[in-house]
Amino acid sequence: MSMFRRIDRQVPSLNTASLPDLIFTVLFFFMIVTHMRTETVRVQFRQPQGTELTRLVKKSVATHIYIGTPLGADGGTVIQMNDRYVQLDEIERYMKSVVSHLSPEEKELMTVSLKADRKTKMGVITDVKQALRRAGALKISYSADQEKAPR
Residues of the chain with pLDDT under 50: none
pLDDT value at residue 37: 62
Q: How many CB atoms lie within 10 A of CB 137?
A: 23
111-127 pLDDT per residue, tens: 888 888 888 889 999 99
pLDDT value at residue 64: 87
Whether the model pTM is above 0.85? no
Characterize the bridge pairing of strands 84-86 and 145-146.
unpaired
Cα separation, 96 vs 102, in Å, equals 10
For residues 63 and 110, is the Cβ–Cβ distance under 8 A? yes
Characterize the bridge pairing of strands 111-116 and 140-142.
parallel
For residues 71 and 123, is the Cβ–Cβ distance under 8 A? no
